Amino acid sequence: MPFSDADLQAIWLTLKLAATVTALLLIFGTPIAWWLAYSRSHWRRVVHAVVALPLILPPSVLGFYLLLALGPKGPIGALTQGLGLGTLPFTFAGLVVASLLYSLPFVVQPIHNALLTLGPRPAEAAATLHAGPWDTFWHVILPLARPGFLTAAVLGFAHTVGEFGVVLMIGGNIPGVTQVISVQIYQHVEALDYTRAHALSLTMIVFSFVVLLALYSLNRTTDAPTRMGER
């Protein structure tokens, strides 16, 4: 059965959300991963634990407290209203904020691990050549840690596509605004329309398989030179 207009709209909205969140997480997650990798602050473990919380926290719990914080009586909601932006729950912007927090560890941790593996020596060597921090990052750190960044991008995108509990709590089920694929599948099941639920679910299964296959292929390709050098 071909997808309905509502299904196609949910697919497009999901891809738009995942692309937006992934781009923002790479921008804001990289400094966090850098600080966690190289900082000697006593707060490092606390920050690391906070970043990793979504890995074990039930999505409904995170969604509930985000709903309170972003709502009209919450601190963030009061701020956005004061700025004339209204409130974020049940909007696409609200989905972006919720997804940023929920997918944060899936982007920060691969970058953090890549930076730890790299160590401080490349940056120190670049500094001896009078390279600035920006040049060091773009021309030294990023090329060497590229597999970690690619893994982070793939995992962040895929995890955002598969979100359900958080987006349902924050966004509800508004067609064309917050109705993503996972919520659309849930709606089909509630309506006992298993045929359409199967179609979307199989699409998600194929997508997940392709993502994992690409990720493992990427890791195998980047590990090959290392293994050859060890022989």
Asked if the structure places residue 229 within a domain, the reply is no
Model confidence over 159-181: pLDDT tens digits? Answer: 999 889 899 899 988 888 999 99
Q: Which two tokens stand for residue 64?
A: 């509930």
pLDDT the model gives residue 224:
52
Q: How far is it, in rounded angstroms, from Cα 99 to Cα 70?
A: 13
What pLDDT is stored for residue 208 in this prediction?
85
Residue 222 confidence (pLDDT)? 60
Q: The domain spanning residue 95 has which CATH number?
A: 1.10.3720.10
Is residue 86 included in any domain, yes or no? yes
Neighbours of 128 (CB within 10 A): 7
What is the count of structural domains for the chain?
A: 1
pLDDT at 1: 56
pLDDT at residue number 213: 86
Q: What is the pTM of this model?
A: 0.86
Q: Which residues of 61-87 are buried (b: 16+ CB within 10 A; e: fewer)?
A: ebbeebbebbbeebeebeebeeeeeeb
Question: Is 230 part of any domain?
Answer: no
Give a yes or no: residue 231 inside a domain.
no
Ranges of residues in the chain with a pLDDT under 50 are 225-231
Give the residue numbers spanning the domain of 199.
Answer: 5-224
Residue 194 resides in a domain: yes
